[in-house]
Structure 1
Amino acid sequence: MKMRWMHSGMLAVLFACSLVGTLRAELKLPNLFTDHMVLQRDMPISIWGQANKGADVTVALGDQKVTVTANDDGRWKAELKSLPAGGPHEVVVRSGDSEKVIKDVLVGEVWVCSGQSNMQWDVNSANDADIEKLTANFPKLRLITVPQVGTQEPQDNFNGKWELCTPQTVGSFSAVGYFFGRQLEQTLDVPIGLIDNSWGGSSAEAWVNRDVLRESGKFDALLARWKQTEETYDHDKAMAQYRENLAAWKKKAEEAKAAGKPAPGGQPGAPRNPLTNQHRPANLYNGVLNPIIGYGIRGVIWYQGESNAGRAYQYRDLFPLMIENWRSEWGQGDFPFYWVQLADFRQEKDQPADSDWAELREAQTMTLDRLPKTGEAVIIDLGEAEDIHPKNKQDVAKRLARLALANEYGYKIVSQSPRYQSMKVDGDAIVLEFNTFGSQLDYFDTRALQGFTIAGADKKFVHATASIVDGTHVRVSSPEVKEPVAVRYAWADNPVANLQNSQGLPATPFRTDDWDGVTKNNK
């Protein structure tokens, strides 16, 4: 009897120990909060995670200590007072007997680096990657990458961690992000944190909360197409068909080999699941954005648009809606959002023509007038006709850094490209006025301006002669157009254009007309 009591007691002890272990294991922090992280300076600091339902959680940072209670879902969030740039600090999180210690925490400037493949494009693939990595010793510059997960279910965490910027870690990180962050770190002399959640080939609608898309009422056709895909696509069936086709192809290849003939072409490729890809509305909002929403940031740099060029008119509403959605969800007000306009790409054309890429650039520029605290880096001089991924990411990043340094950090530098403001017909010519944002109009390579076309009421554009009148005006004409009504500049996939400002920032592509474009009816 005594032995039985002892056995039962031992079981009770073991059960209690197991229960304690379970309780201790319930304290969890997302991987945003790991060693070497950077917290945004001069802004309330939010730290969150999971614990047992109703458990008290204490978060300590320096001389601050805040205690909160986990809700019925076990979620908790602590808010600490802002700190100036500096560190290193430790963050200690306790709940019951469980403790998490985050070491080597710096406070500085945090930027999100997002978009599609040109933001994802890593340092290893950029110009001068070998010598760039040799000098990438910046212990106050910290990097974290969010893996690519496409889903309709909001994700709270991801597989990643903060790392110091070193020659060993920088190679796989976003090139535009790194060069941007490096410029800030060297200029500001404060810690810099970069969060890269870009995904190559992604469409803008994948970055927006689905409810926001639906409630806007402007994307019904887009959502209807996707609803049909969601209701009819069967990935298991598609994979079974692929395996069947592949087996048939292999059989033919073996028969051809036995007969001394070349293998047949058209080897089947495995199908990609559209339900988990980077195009489905809200997939990236849930999979790679939601896990970082709420983390204190200064702002966002963005490089995307190629995948939406065929629907450029739609992008006029979609892009600003996306930015507003992010700002609303973050709860930080109108944080700065700076993007890269599409580069020059595809073959040059001898004659003026319609261009979906020109229309997408226009949609990007229109967003400047719709939303505050936005900026655009124009790079029509940095692209490559044969490569949608131009390797000169250094100059792209410098133009983004100009915007941040001028607008967010108070540096008296020119940050914006010249932008068309108004036009006036002067006889057989049109005189254009530009906002040069504190600079002067200039030209690159040749004094004769290139890239201007002009049209009359017949809407037929021809190449024009253009010259700089003064620091803010350009005169445009052509002997073929006696009564001009409209001018376009750099209106092509790959324009040959050379108007810039004194700092070498290329003029923003534009048109003075509002005639229907080739993507107007694409939904």
Structure 2
Amino acid sequence: MRPMSRCAPALLLLATPAAAQEAPLLHPMFQDHGVLQRDRPIAVWGDAAPGDRVEVTLGTRKTLVRADADGHWRADLPAFPAGGPYTLTATIRGGQSQRAEDLMIGDVWLCSGQSNMEFPVSRALGASGEIDKANDPDLRLMTIEKKTSLVPERHFPASVQWQRTTPETVREFSAACYFMARDLRASQKVPMGLIDASWGGTAIDAWRPETALVKDPAAQADLALLRTYRTDPAAASRQFGARWTDWYRATSGDAVGAEPWQSAAPGKWRPLPSFDPWERWGFAELAAYNGMLWYRTEVTLTAEQAATGTTLALGPADDMDASFVNGVPVGVTYAWGVPRHYALAPGTLKTGKNRIAVGVLDTWAEGGLLGSADQRALRFVDGTSIPLPDPADWQWLRAPAGVGDPPHAPWEAIAGFSGIYNAMIAPIGPYGLRGVAWYQGEANAGTPERYAEKLASMMAAWRGQFAKPDMPFLIAQLSSWGPRVPRPVESGFAQIRDEQRQAVLADRNAALAVTVDLGDVVDIHPANKADVGHRLARGAEALTYRGKASPSGPWPVEARLEGKVIRIRFTGVDKGLVALSAAQPIGFELCGTTPGSCRFAAATIDASDVLVAVSPGSASRVRFCWGDSPICNLTDATGLPATPFELEVK
């Protein structure tokens, strides 16, 4: 994962509509070695011919249902206690039959989020030993492949498979998810199924279904644009392109008509060395450059070619591209490793010379317009094509300093609306779950405002899909990453942590796994995922298994002015608060009403409270453990850290 501001996209793959594939009698969630949720009615579904009568059998229980006019059927079996193995059979009267064998009844957890959830066991601390001892036939794993779709899918665009836990199957499975479940297996002693649906670098809106977005006033303009894109991508690209070009002019200072996508664009354009990453071109100014570079070339067309339907094909861009033909925006994509294909609206091309300009933004590591020569062409509807020129006939120009994170199109995979939900969560259908573990937020650190609202709406929508209004959500709070600083600072990472705290505070069925002490200042992917899993399991035990420990450890309740101190009251403290490696807790700040008004403040522990000395100046807010990589030493006696927070002073 690389951030969007600081998170990396992975592949962008558009799903083929499931209706275009031959649907199995049983939905793919039901297959050998699966786990079904105990102690609640079991929904089973699939597809058949309209009107077919389908008999569904699980163990000794049977039910008969009929496929509807669309060929969809669903059976609801009674609740089963933990146990197994069982065989599930679906049979059409007088016809097809399908079986799923070695099914266990236990608890099913969905683990989702971005790359810290995707982070595999093979890269975790102590990986070799953990993998060698991973032999648990009653812990079953399923990984959902990264896909996206413009509409909610009934079936997964790529095949899925349940597998028993072995050293081979656990190696690339989500480490945080696996370590959580291993703890729960030890304490609950029931079979467990883990579904890993995660994707590095993804923003939360890509995981929110459209049913959640329609209730978000701030999303309405982009939702309308997304609906246009579904039926007319070229028109939607033009509309979004106008927004993108306004942003570019505002950040670059270019005048209208002088932008890099115009034919008379000024600037020191230089010959393109290659379609390799620009860090390899041999220019000192690009050796470690994270920013935007422009590429341009020309293609000469006949009148017939200019008049026909055409797609501009480009190689992959790392990370983001904004592409123009004759000054007209034709497409924007934020994803690396994915070739671009942009349908051109009628009238975009002309007889004679046509200028193609591509702005590429790279935010981390290597960047550029990449790929092989056969990936760059103008492709016509009659099946013919003409290649785009060789590098010698391209030019490049470095964009002005300060061109940062651009607006994102609502159809983008990792930062757009609902695409990942549609292809990776919607197909799970109403499958029975015990709960969800969610580890995401780095990709939203550049724009942390309203993250709590977005997370709350996502949790509500997912609970609706799985027909479980009280379904537990375990939220892994962001770990530390980034430089340490000697003074109070504003921090998107810190604000996301507090937004996550606020979302959990407002939700009686959510728990927060505090991980700020488990980070790595130089690696956004800290390797200590075992402790992340332990803390997720602690939350699960508190919410769903009647565990006695608090779900999250020391939790701030209020900050109240008492004379010359501000008393911060905590709950969830096990055996009192302690300050590690110091006589007093550190990391407390007093703040005024405006950004940049915070100052460090001395604090002392008073049983389960903290007293912060009121220094000169206003103090309308108090913050704790604020920053990208703050140093904080306040824990309870078990060593569980207090959550970072910001509170108003009463």
Shorter-normalised TM range? 0.7 to 0.9
Report the counterpart of residue 186 of structure 2 in structure 1.
186
Per-residue CA deviation, residues 385-420 of structure 1 (Å, 9 max, x unaligned), is 111111111000100100111221122234322121
Q: Distance in 2 between matches of 1:226 and 1:79?
A: 35
Q: Distance in 2 between matches of 1:357 and 1:78?
A: 45
Which residue among 32, 37, 48 is the counterpart of 1:35? Answer: 32
3-state SS, counterpart of residue 300 of structure 1: strand
Report the counterpart of residue 63 of structure 1 in structure 2.
60
Q: How does 1:29-428 map to 2 (within 5 A)?
A: 29-95=26-92, 96-158=94-156, 159-220=159-220, 222-223=222-223, 231-232=236-237, 236-237=311-312, 239=314, 250-251=391-392, 275=411, 277-428=413-564
Which residue among 599, 604, 610 is the counterpart of 1:467? Answer: 604
Q: Distance in 2 between matches of 1:364 and 1:226?
A: 28
Per-residue CA deviation, residues 318-338 of structure 1 (Å, 9 max, x unaligned), is 110111111112212221011
Report the counterpart of residue 565 of structure 2 in structure 1.
429
Per-residue CA deviation, residues 209-249 of structure 1 (Å, 9 max, x unaligned), is 22431233242355467679851179942527665599766
3-state SS, counterpart of residue 302 of structure 1: strand
Q: Distance in 2 between matches of 1:466 and 1:487?
A: 11
- The change in CA–CA distance for 1:473 and 1:66 in structure 2 (over 3 A counts) is same
Per-residue CA deviation, residues 57-84 of structure 1 (Å, 9 max, x unaligned), is 0111111011100111111011111111
Equivalent position amino acid for 1:490 in 2: C
Contact 1:113–1:194 under 8 Å retained in 2: yes
Q: Which runs of 4+ in 1 moved over 6 A?
A: none
Equivalent position amino acid for 1:124 in 2: S
Equivalent position amino acid for 2:536 in 1: L
Q: Distance in 2 between matches of 1:446 and 1:275?
A: 50
Q: Distance in 1 between matches of 2:452 and 2:48?
A: 43
Q: How many angstroms does 1:452 deviate by?
A: 0.9
Equivalent position amino acid for 1:445 in 2: S
Report the counterpart of residue 445 of structure 1 in structure 2.
581
Equivalent position amino acid for 1:35 in 2: D
3-state SS, counterpart of residue 517 of structure 2: coil
Contact 1:428–1:483 under 8 Å retained in 2: no
Which residue among 490, 497, 512 is the counterpart of 2:647? Answer: 512
Contact 1:403–1:415 under 8 Å retained in 2: yes
Q: Distance in 2 between matches of 1:249 and 1:496?
A: 52
Q: Distance in 1 between matches of 2:27 and 2:311?
A: 32
Contact 1:26–1:52 under 8 Å retained in 2: no
3-state SS, counterpart of residue 387 of structure 1: coil
Q: Distance in 1 between matches of 2:114 and 2:533?
A: 15
Contact 1:344–1:381 under 8 Å retained in 2: yes
Q: Distance in 1 between matches of 2:225 and 2:451?
A: 17
3-state SS, counterpart of residue 482 of structure 2: coil
Q: Distance in 1 between matches of 2:160 and 2:140?
A: 13
3-state SS, counterpart of residue 558 of structure 2: strand
Normalising by structure 2, we get a TM-score of 0.68
Structure in which a larger fraction of residues adopt strand = 2
3-state SS, counterpart of residue 182 of structure 2: helix
- 5+ residue gaps, structure 2: 1-21, 242-309, 315-340, 342-355, 357-368, 370-374, 378-386, 400-407
3-state SS, counterpart of residue 161 of structure 1: coil
Between stretches 328-337 and 109-118, larger displacement belongs to 328-337
Aligned CA RMSD, in angstroms, stands at 2.8
- The change in CA–CA distance for 1:370 and 1:423 in structure 2 (over 3 A counts) is closer
3-state SS, counterpart of residue 185 of structure 1: helix
Contact 1:149–1:276 under 8 Å retained in 2: no
Q: How many residues are matched?
A: 474
Report the counterpart of residue 20 of structure 1 in structure 2.
none
Contact 1:425–1:484 under 8 Å retained in 2: no
- The change in CA–CA distance for 1:55 and 1:485 in structure 2 (over 3 A counts) is closer
Between stretches 60-69 and 327-336, larger displacement belongs to 327-336
Q: How many angstroms does 1:375 deviate by?
A: 0.7
Equivalent position amino acid for 1:205 in 2: D
Contact 1:27–1:52 under 8 Å retained in 2: no
Report the counterpart of residue 498 of structure 1 in structure 2.
633
3-state SS, counterpart of residue 396 of structure 1: helix
Q: Distance in 1 between matches of 2:415 and 2:215?
A: 19
Q: How many angstroms does 1:453 deviate by?
A: 1.5
Equivalent position amino acid for 1:92 in 2: T
Per-residue CA deviation, residues 85-128 of structure 1 (Å, 9 max, x unaligned), is 01111111111321111111100010000111111111112111
Contact 2:550–2:572 under 8 Å retained in 1: no
Q: Distance in 1 between matches of 2:518 and 2:598?
A: 25
Between stretches 215-224 and 108-117, larger displacement belongs to 215-224
- The change in CA–CA distance for 1:456 and 1:287 in structure 2 (over 3 A counts) is closer
Q: Distance in 1 between matches of 2:476 and 2:482?
A: 18
- The change in CA–CA distance for 1:106 and 1:211 in structure 2 (over 3 A counts) is closer
3-state SS, counterpart of residue 187 of structure 2: helix
Q: Distance in 1 between matches of 2:598 and 2:77?
A: 60
- The change in CA–CA distance for 1:265 and 1:341 in structure 2 (over 3 A counts) is same
Q: Distance in 1 between matches of 2:549 and 2:388?
A: 63
- The change in CA–CA distance for 1:375 and 1:439 in structure 2 (over 3 A counts) is farther
